[in-house]
A and B are shown apart, each in its own frame.
Chain A
Amino acid sequence: MAKLPKPEELSKIDLTPPKTDWMDTPVVFKEGMFCHGSKPKSLEIVDFPNPREWRPADADWKLPENWKEILLEGIADRLKKYRSFRLFMDICVRCGACADKCHFFIGTGDPKNMPVLRAELIRSVYRKEFTTAGRIFGKMAGARELTVDVLKEWWYYFYQCTECRRCSVFCPYGIDQAEITMIGRELLNLLGLNIEWIAGPVSNCYMKGNHLGLEPHTIIGNLEYMLDDIETVTGKRIKPTFNRKGAEILFVTPSGDLFADPGTYTAMGYLMLFEELGLDYTWSTYASEGGNFGFFTSNEMAKRLNSKIYAEAKRLGVKWILGGECGHMWRVLSQYMDTWNGPADFLEVPKSPITGTVFENAKSMKMVHVAEFTADLIKNNKLKLDPKRNDHLKVTWHDSCNVARGMGMLEEPRYVLKNVVNNFYEMPEDTIREKTFCCGSGTGLNASEDMDLRMKGGYPRANAVKFVAEHHGVNMLANVCAIDRATLKALMEYWVPSVGVCGLHELVANAMIMTGEKERTTDLRGEPLPSVQAKEEKA
């Protein structure tokens, strides 16, 4: 009998990567893992440096001659400006507690996606150029030279971080990779190294007031379509106002909800709620963006875009501002807006005209989250709700990263949700509230060309959704974030196709009984209501 080969000889493919130190492992750009480079026009509009045609996969990035000098000066400048940056460069002990907390590390298995290593990418250069030990001992002290390869590594990995802050929750020193990524991206922007999916919306927002570049008449046109749909469902014609001086409240929401499903249903929800309350409010076409892709670019750009909100509130003479459902928008509003563009002393402390509740928690920045606003309405019995209309839904709640870890709004939306749906199931504890997993597509990574990255990064979130879908029959993933609404839809389609995605106020509007409405037979999506379905089945 012929001698059989030993089993381990049968498979010759060795999948173990060659063992090199991470510093000596150059970055490989993998298709589906990065976004297109910024277009020159997008940078020119906002006066950003080095506008040119370039492609991230190309060897030549057409950097300015003195790129290194620019970058090192940029680092020095930011070390002086941000205690967070200087401190986070110095105090990490590399304990590894953050390593497996990152959704990108969990999904990709790429060790450079461990938050600690992502930070080391920049720390290694910091040590080389800004510390005595690094200058003297070089690589022995964990220092390395800034080269084009290092720069590319930064770009690749700082655009594989969604600034979700999950790592920061577990760090014994509170080191926040979001902060490091933000500064990393700011540095890259000094060389014109943005992605178009961010740079485009930024220039749109700067010129036209919103990321999508909707011009004033288009915004109104888009809303008209929603008003038609609302009329079909409720029999009521709503007439919202735009740029109206003297309104009590200015309403600002992410423009994504004016544009694509399922965000549009949330926007319809706002329209219906405010109509029912008889709220004296106005939309603005100039400040028609709640979100802020400038925040994913640089501190200065974020401030430039954000300035429109207070400016418009002042011009229109409103008393306070109400903000729609969004994630990063609310981190920017709660932790930055008042500092950048305040004090908003021309506004009054927000007070609900319906309940009389004064929002003391927003008494300086003067802006209230619509979930806080609605929770207060429900608590004071100001809405007639029929949660049975949502009985065809089994809902779970996705805490959006920025709202959870950059604001602390956890209970308000849950309170609203529990009052408008009968079937609500929490996902496992490790994956909600302050430990929530990111959708994997935040910070402007919600393009299409990086779909593989998005699916990997969103996997831990999807996995938890799948669990409640299998155990409780959950079929709807609700949230308060426009990026979530756009991207979780894709995520669910791949991982848990039986689950849909919706905003909180879509559910509110479905459950809310409006004065003088006709008997509703469908929800906002045009799907028959459970009661109607039951009747049809009987007949």
Chain B
Amino acid sequence: MKALVSLIAVLLLALIAYAGASVPGMRLLFGVVIPYAAFIIFVVGMVVRILKWASSPVPFRIPTTTGQQKSLPWIKHSIIESPSNGLGVIARMALEVLFFRSLFRNLKTQVGDGKQVTYGEAKWLWAAGLAFHWSFLFILVRHMRFFIEQVPAAIIMIEGLDSFLQIGAPLFYMTDAVILASVTYLFIRRIGIPQVKYISLIADYFPLFLILGIAVSGVWMRYFTKTDIVSVKILAMGLISFNPSVPETIGVMFFVHLFLLSVLFVYFPLSKLVHMAGVFMSPTRNLANNSRMKRHVNPWNYPVHVHTYEQYENDFREKMKGAGLPVEKE
């Protein structure tokens, strides 16, 4: 039900773009105005969101330690799992962000005396998650060629890597297949695994369909309708040089692609997708486990009511004396 609502929403959005861009006068709206607006909302939204997080302090040093603390010199300290300094934290965060270290922990489970098996779904969640995020990044970088007059060698290299299979014309990009497959998997597990379905919200299905829509429309243009790339680049270069023009030769499918992307940009800062930035700020991961060595300061630490020793002694002085305990006041 929730999945269906999300699917319909994305289809509607695609339809709006399709219908809208077919009307000649609307091309400027879909090609220039909306992308500009979406980009501004994205940037401002993300900045606001990050500032909001940053405005809340980290009152306590609360890393989740997943390895041996640094203590006695002869005990092997787990530098990454229980980092005692910034360097260790950087390593820990890098493993987390680049390889989804914590999710990876799910993979192995023990059967009996030391025997290990890899447990099915967790493996796929990790693999699909990783495949999805990496292919998204690759595709994003590849798209940079539209915004740079002289395509840099780095981008050409990435394109070469991505298409090294040398299949088809235009050359087939592996990441296109990977992103479609991984997003599809992430959707299937969401409806297929009862406990995951139970926790899923519309806000979980919608971005999946949205990204799927963007990917499908992109693939469609590249491999099937063969959109005029030259005019797309003219549009892109126009946008980036604040001198926008919408060439007549751009097909309608492109506007569907661009509009869904714009929706993603707007939706991004308002949704769970902010985890992209949030993961870097997570206090259970990005703090060193060194609160015993170095005092962590809480900016809102305030004095509290305590029951002082004096009050305590007043309450129990006679009993203390009776038990032979030293007292401050006789």
Contact = CB atoms under 8 A, between A and B. Distances in A.
Judge A-B direct contact (beta carbons within 8 Å).
Answer: yes
Interface in B7-62: 49, 52-62
Contacts of A97: 102-103, 106, 122, 125
Contact of A140 (B74, B82, B122, B202): B202
Given A120-B199, A220-B325, A411 B76 contact: yes
B72 interface: yes
Interface in B270-303: 270-272, 274-275, 278-279, 281-285, 289, 291-298, 300-301
Interface centre among A216, A362, A364 (most CB of B within 10 A): A216
B102 A405 contact: no
A409 B285 contact: no
B23 to A, nearest CB: 28
A81 B320 contact: no
Interface stretch (B149-157, B176-184, B190-198, B221-229): B190-198
Nearest to B201: A142
Contacts of A95: 103, 125, 129, 196
A340 B76 CA distance: 30
B74 A379 contact: yes
A169 interface: yes
B68 interface: yes
Interface in A192-251: 206-209, 215-217, 220-221, 242-245
A498 interface: no
Contacts of B110: 428-430
B65 A408 contact: yes
B271 to A, nearest CB: 7
A536 to B, nearest CB: 35
A90 B278 contact: yes
A249 B54 CA distance: 41
A337 B292 CA distance: 9
Contact of A217 (B81, B283, B322): B322
User: DSSP class of A's interface residues: helix, strand, loop or mixed?
Assistant: helix
A87 to B, nearest CB: 5
A14 to B, nearest CB: 17
B91 to A, nearest CB: 15
Contacts, number: 284
Given A168-B64, A338-B295, A83 B58 contact: yes
Given A220-B325, A303-B304, A338-B292, A434 B67 contact: yes
Contacts of B248: none
B326 A244 contact: yes
Interface stretch (A4-12, A30-38, A307-315): A307-315
A22 B198 contact: yes
B113 interface: yes
Given A117-B199, A339-B60, A339-B296, A415 B323 contact: no
B291 A334 contact: yes
Contacts of B70: 361
Nearest to A402: B65
A375 interface: yes
B307 A207 contact: yes
A356 interface: no
Interface string B306-330: 1111001101100110111110000
A87 B281 contact: yes
A361 B78 contact: no
A412 B71 contact: yes
B166 interface: no
Interface string A305-349: 001100110010000000000000000001110111011000000
B182 to A, nearest CB: 13
A304 B64 contact: no
B105 A170 contact: yes
B85 interface: no
A120 B199 CA distance: 8
A410 B76 CA distance: 10
A86 interface: yes
A80 interface: yes
A456 B76 CA distance: 35
A375 B71 CA distance: 11
Contacts of B75: 375, 411-412, 415
B326 A172 contact: no
A142 B202 contact: yes
A64 interface: no
B197 to A, nearest CB: 9
A207 B196 CA distance: 47
B316 A363 contact: no
Contacts of A111: 195, 198
Interface string B115-132: 000000010010001000
Contacts of B74: 379
Given A172-B96, A172-B102, A379-B72, A96 B66 contact: no
Nearest to A301: B304
Nearest to A209: B312
A399 B297 CA distance: 29
B293 A315 contact: no
A24 to B, nearest CB: 12
A84 interface: yes
A170 B167 CA distance: 39
Interface stretch (A173-181, A253-261, A488-496, A508-516): A173-181
Interface string A131-147: 11100000011100000
Contacts of B274: 90-91
A300 interface: yes
A412 B82 CA distance: 15
A47 B306 CA distance: 11
Nearest to B315: A207
A83 B272 contact: no
B195 A91 contact: no
Interface in B92-122: 96, 100, 102-103, 105-106, 109-110, 112-113, 122
A379 B74 CA distance: 9
A283 to B, nearest CB: 10
Given A117-B199, A174-B282, A407-B69, A83 B289 contact: no
Interface in A240-289: 242-245, 285-286
A287 to B, nearest CB: 9
Nearest to A179: B62
A99 B195 CA distance: 8
B73 to A, nearest CB: 8
Contacts of B300: 81
B5 interface: yes
15 contacts: A86-B52, A87-B282, A92-B275, A96-B196, A117-B198, A165-B64, A172-B102, A217-B325, A361-B70, A365-B291, A379-B74, A405-B65, A409-B68, A411-B76, A434-B65
Interface of A: 22, 47, 79-87, 90-97, 99-100, 111, 114, 116-117, 120, 131-133, 140-142, 165, 168-176, 179, 206-209, 215-217, 220-221, 242-245, 285-286, 299-300, 303-304, 307-308, 311-312, 315, 334-336, 338-340, 342-343, 357, 359-365, 367, 372, 375-376, 379, 404-412, 415, 428-430, 434-435, 471
Given A91-B275, A174-B279, 11 more contacts: A87-B283, A97-B106, A216-B316, A304-B306, A339-B61, A364-B292, A367-B292, A408-B65, A408-B78, A409-B68, A434-B66
Minimum-distance CB pairs A-B, first 10: A408-B69, A408-B65, A91-B278, A174-B284, A217-B323, A142-B201, A174-B285, A91-B275, A408-B82, A434-B66
